[in-house]
Structure 1
Amino acid sequence: MSNPPRSLSPQRVRRLPIGSRPKRIDRTALVNQPTFRLVLVWGALTVGCGLLLLNLGRLQIAEAPALQKLAQEQQMLYMRPFVPRRQIIDRTGTVLALDRPVYTLFAHPKLFKESKQAIAEKLAPLLQKSAADLTKKLDQGETGIRVEYALSESVADQVANLKADGLELLQSQQRLYPHKDMAADVLGYVNDEHKGQAGLELSQQRLLERIVSPVRLRRMGDGSLMPDQVPGGFLNVDDWQLQLTLDSRLQRVAIAALQQQVTKFDAKRGTVIVMDVRDGSLLTLASTPSYDPNQYFKYPLDRFKNWALSDLYEPGSTFKPINVAIALETGSVKPDTPFYDEGQIQVSGWPIQNFDYSSSGGRGNITLSEILEYSSNVGMVHVVQEIKPSVYYTWLKRLGMGELVGIDLPSETAGQFKDKKTFLESPIERATTSFGQGFSLTPIHLAQMHAVLANGGRLVTPHVVRGLFDSKGQPYWQPNFPTKRPVFSKATSQTVMAMMEAVVSKGTGKSAQIPGYRIGGKTGTAQKANPNGGYLDRAKITSFVGVFPIESPRYVVLAVVDEPKGGDAFGSTVAAPIVKAVMGAIISLEKIPPSVSVTSEVGR
């Protein structure tokens, strides 16, 4: 018989100890626990937002200018495009200097798909170099080898047509002087940075260098320019050219004649100057030896100065006409005043004699014109002794002795002349000055002084710059030169011109005669001063200055040859033939008709 199910009797229920109660659940804590978390999250979010707001404020306010500048640098491109220097042309429009695009060839052998020898053999005929030399150069590294620089566009195109991997052409601008050394002493040259270093390239840098303002361009994210942001015509440049007073045709003739005489007499150097006496413009300013400005780096530094402007010398007898003009202008002598030529005299214990004293002795009474014809040193001393010393000094200073002439080329040197006290107190100083020694000046200064005699007595400023002109020949800018300052009267100038004509027709300047033309001139053969004092043994400077046409003087032509050798080296034999050749070229180029009368009555 089964047992009946057991019932849950009260006796089997567990009873809690008397005095204890069951533990109650904290419903408030349960409710408040999610709130705390919520507050914690919101607090963290609030703090984070606050920090973000602070950072935003820092970025938008404190660092805004710097960040804006950085953004502009990334988004904007400021470009100053390279523009070529202005061309230089001569008076006839012949281009003397211009910019041209050139290319530098780099090789990266690691990119070659052919052998180095194969590449070298392809380049050799284009670069006019041997394949062996090019192969040796290509062996210098794996990349960035400069094979050649300053390649012309035609050669660069031929290199590009090879389509050889590993060859790179970089374009740049180069100054080109088509006529090489023809006018280097005037033009100068520019360095690798395209800055003038000598001649007009230096002194006229402001006129030759085109100024282009930077252009602001906007870039896209990949760095490329936004086409619609490129301003139209921002690369347009003017067509102005710097025109000179030089005549390249005459310059070539002068250089050829000069080089011939320098070679014939084994001279150190020489220079030729042709000046238009009306305004001081120079048609020729040539020197030898010179240099090729296209390859200036191959020449010594002393070639870069124009010694006709920078080196001083004692002019000798070519200065005598200047002293004659001073004596006439001050009224110290008259054209018919006689002078006694002893052939040799002493002044303050110093002997002075004529260059031909050993063969001709003294000439006795001679006229002022004959003093120039025979180039008498003694006669000139007597002429200057008639001038009051203070007056003589004042007139020499009026002619700019010891000062710059103000030519528009760089590196001009001022002449050396004694101070007033020494000059006034020393008779020998005045005596040597009378025949062009004891002081020094530049050839350009002597040419300027003779221009004063030729143009009627006015002092003009030598210059080579005519101005800026456009491609149609219209002037944009022209230089302003000092006003022509009167020095001598027209009557004095004409008298001295007649005397200089007699020098060529009857005196020491006969070798400068050109049939059918009236020409004036003066020879000069001076001892060469020693930088340490005194004079160098057997060293001399020969010169000749010519003026023509005498009936209406327009041109002064000066030739100076330094240290010609030989017993027959004089101004009449060395320099006068140069001047004659140049004057002949002027007559041909300018189509100057023969003089109406070639008979001079001076000295009769």
Structure 2
Amino acid sequence: MTPKDPVARPRPWRRRVLLGAWLTAAAIICVRAVQIQVVQSQQWRAVAEAQHRRDEEIVAARGSVLDRDGTPLAVSRERFSVGIAPNELINVEAARSLLSDALGISSLLATQLTSPERRWSVVPGRYPPAVRQQLNGVRGIHVTRELQRYHPLGDLSDGVLGLVRDNTGSGGVEQAFQELLSGHPGQVVVARDNVGREIPGERILVEPPRPGGEVVLTLDMDLQEIALEALKEAIERTEARGGDVLITDPHTGEVLAFVSILDGRFASLSAINTPFEPGSTLKPFTVAGLLKHDIIALDDTIDVADGDWTFAGRTITRHHQGRMTVADALRVSSNVGIAQAAQPMTRAQQYENLRDFGFGGLTGIEIPGEVRGTLRRPDLWTGQSPASLAIGYEVSVTSLQMAMAYGALANGGRLMQPRLVREIRNSDGTVLERFEPRVIRQVISPRVASSVSRVLEDVVEDGTGKSARLGSFRVAGKSGTSRLYSADVGYEAGAYFSSFVGYFPAEAPQLVVFVKLDRPEGAYYGGAVAAPVTRATMEAALAARATPLDRAALLNATRVSTTPVARPAALFASVPITAPVSSAKDMAFPVGLPTDESPRLGSVVPIPDVSGLPSRVAVRRLHALGLRVSRARPGEILGTEPAAGTHVLRGDTIRLKVRRRIDD
């Protein structure tokens, strides 16, 4: 019997096991295929599409911020960043040449950026849209769209505007109107190859982006630049740490100029977020409260004795002695006189009077960051508080609060809400909302406001505010000097706030100008260091043709004689006398000296060298010095007549020599 070969004849059970395993695997594969192709088809189709297509968000163009005349202050411009993946480049030399030509970079930099040793390179800078057309579709070169926030007029209004980071506003108007300005993003589907690279031309727009709306401010750029230059010059001259200049319309509450500088930062908002004790600039409101309640009259007399007065354990000292009227006490800024005059007021009357003028509360300006300042309730006062409050201590205010309160004195007693925004618009220019002037309350009667204003005219004419005097118009105003106080160290030795608030023309005010300097070195009295800044600002505002002033009304308010002003021959031999005012068609208001007054310090200025500047910049620079400019066409400035360096009076007219353009 021949034995069986075990290899040639496998056992039947093994065949059955192998067959069963094969059938089971086939069944699993079929079931899985059905599951993928039928049951989960949509899911796996989405996975496949996700690998080859990607949804991308298109950032909407951020809306613009404009000044009152429609001049762009903040705009978004399309820019592109360029990245390079050297290992994806097909022709390295051609790519280097293209990068050099399209981006204007050196051959050396192009070589470094495309080095095979690098996995990824970023080209420095941001480039205009034309670059995308030149580089898009080149393998290894990746162009990314970005929207860059841009201020066409530079840092002129940085603090008010705020910043933008990742299309999100931070501070100022950008933050306050984030929802309006940011718009609505769009969506696009991008096709990609098997290694994730974008396939040129395979972009499907799903939803277009909707641009943001526009915000129109009340700011006037001529006045804004005048205020900025005046503050910069004052800070440099006095070595102050910083300061504020505000210009407002007392009748509408519009903020026409808003400049704050602190430690060299133009983006400061110290005018609304850094309160200070106002000192003597608060005294007019004490007098207004006394007149409002018929407690005292301006011609009532006060006996200040030897100039010292002790009240509740505190001695108030002033150099003035003897008897004086309430009006004189305000005119010469007598601490003793004003404190004594305020004695008959009840604590409730004194508190309500200051509160009604807006102190201790928010003004309601549209930008974030405003603080209330400090005005304690009467039940928290000490025995010294009534006298201290009467002369501007034990209360802290913001620069904006002071400007609005003086606006109430200027407009007949109405406290206005400050307005920084005129209107908001849709992206197509449709007005969504227009903001009208809003009266918060009638604080005092027109009669009381007029009475206080007449005393403030005397303050400038013959009191502590002489340095704010304009030759052409009567100015009402008040200076203030206060020591710097902090909760940690109390009053800091040698540290002062110097301020001056003025409005003009005094009999029919059109502008309120507030100036504050933070810790000036050397002379620190408000009448000495802040009042001249107010005067210079007013002079420049009068000289500028485009500022929002009622020129016809100003003609009726001018007090300048048509007779020539006498000037020392040696100093002014080559300077023409300003012609008398005859019409309001063009700006022609002399802003120099009144008749019979010798030249004041600061009335004479050298003509700056503006050669090489664009005519618009040159005009603004001359206006900032209080000089008038004859009409000039656009172009590059070649020089001036009289020549740069010539000393002239503020208010004199300068002729610009402009390079003639080829297409003229």
1:450 corresponds in structure 2 to: 406
Contact 1:353 1:378 in 2 (8 A): yes
2:575 corresponds in structure 1 to: none
Alignment of 1:54-453 (within 5 A): 80-109=57-86, 111=89, 113-114=92-93, 122=100, 126=104, 141-153=117-129, 156=131, 168-191=142-165, 193-212=166-185, 235=208, 237=210, 240-289=213-262, 304-342=267-305, 343-354=307-318, 357=319, 361-362=320-321, 364-423=322-381, 426-453=382-409
Q: What is the CA-CA distance between 1:397 and the residue it aligns to?
A: 2.5
2: distance between equivalents of 1:349 and 1:230?
78
Q: Which runs of 5+ in 1 are unaligned?
A: 1-40, 292-301, 600-604
Q: Deviations over 1:79-102 (max 9, x none)?
A: 643211101110111111111112
Q: Secondary structure at the match of 2:123?
A: strand
Contact 1:369 1:502 in 2 (8 A): no
Q: Name the CA shift for 1:594/1:207 in 2 (closer, same or farther; >3 Å).
A: same
Q: What is the CA-CA distance between 1:427 and the residue it aligns to?
A: 3.1
Higher mean alpha-carbon deviation, 549-558 vs 247-256, is at: 549-558
1:13 corresponds in structure 2 to: none
The one-letter code of the counterpart of 2:341 is V
Contact 2:413 2:443 in 1 (8 A): yes
2: distance between equivalents of 1:160 and 1:52?
48
Alignment of 1:420-569 (within 5 A): 420-423=378-381, 426-469=382-425, 475-479=431-435, 483-566=439-522, 568-569=523-524
User: Which of the two has greater helix per residue?
Assistant: 1
Please say which structure displays the higher CA radius of gyration: 1
2:532 corresponds in structure 1 to: 577
Q: What is the CA-CA distance between 1:368 and the residue it aligns to?
A: 2.1
Q: Secondary structure at the match of 1:544?
A: strand
Q: What is the CA-CA distance between 1:462 and the residue it aligns to?
A: 1.3
Q: Secondary structure at the match of 1:545?
A: strand
2: distance between equivalents of 1:531 and 1:273?
27
The one-letter code of the counterpart of 2:532 is P
Q: Name the CA shift for 1:159/1:578 in 2 (closer, same or farther; >3 Å).
A: farther
TM-score, length-normalised on structure 2? Answer: 0.70
% identity of equivalent residues: 27
Q: What is the CA-CA distance between 1:522 and the residue it aligns to?
A: 0.3
1: distance between equivalents of 2:420 and 2:62?
19
Q: What is the CA-CA distance between 1:432 and the residue it aligns to?
A: 1.0
Q: Name the CA shift for 1:60/1:153 in 2 (closer, same or farther; >3 Å).
A: closer
2: distance between equivalents of 1:260 and 1:50?
86
CA RMSD of aligned residues (A): 4.3
Contact 2:279 2:391 in 1 (8 A): yes
Q: Name the CA shift for 1:113/1:529 in 2 (closer, same or farther; >3 Å).
A: same
Q: Secondary structure at the match of 2:516?
A: strand
Q: Deviations over 1:94-141 (max 9, x none)?
A: 11111111222334455473499x8799589935x8x88887777795
1: distance between equivalents of 2:56 and 2:86?
33
2: distance between equivalents of 1:414 and 1:188?
21
Higher mean alpha-carbon deviation, 474-483 vs 542-551, is at: 474-483
2:583 corresponds in structure 1 to: none
Contact 1:452 1:459 in 2 (8 A): yes
User: Which of the two has greater strand per residue?
Assistant: 2
2:14 corresponds in structure 1 to: none
Q: Deviations over 1:247-288 (max 9, x none)?
A: 111111111111111111111001100111122110000022
TM-score, length-normalised on structure 1? Answer: 0.76
Contact 2:36 2:44 in 1 (8 A): no
Alignment of 1:19-38 (within 5 A): none
Contact 2:167 2:182 in 1 (8 A): no
Q: What is the CA-CA distance between 1:597 and the residue it aligns to?
A: 6.5
1: distance between equivalents of 2:115 and 2:48?
45
1:19 corresponds in structure 2 to: none
Q: Name the CA shift for 1:134/1:446 in 2 (closer, same or farther; >3 Å).
A: farther
1:294 corresponds in structure 2 to: none
Contact 2:62 2:211 in 1 (8 A): no
2:627 corresponds in structure 1 to: none
Contact 1:517 1:595 in 2 (8 A): no
Q: What is the CA-CA distance between 1:78 and the residue it aligns to?
A: 5.6
Contact 1:120 1:132 in 2 (8 A): no
The one-letter code of the counterpart of 1:85 is R
Q: Secondary structure at the match of 2:402?
A: helix
Contact 1:545 1:557 in 2 (8 A): yes
Q: Name the CA shift for 1:219/1:565 in 2 (closer, same or farther; >3 Å).
A: closer
The one-letter code of the counterpart of 2:154 is K
Q: Secondary structure at the match of 1:190?
A: strand
Q: What number of residue pairs does the alignment pair up? A: 533
Q: Secondary structure at the match of 2:480?
A: strand
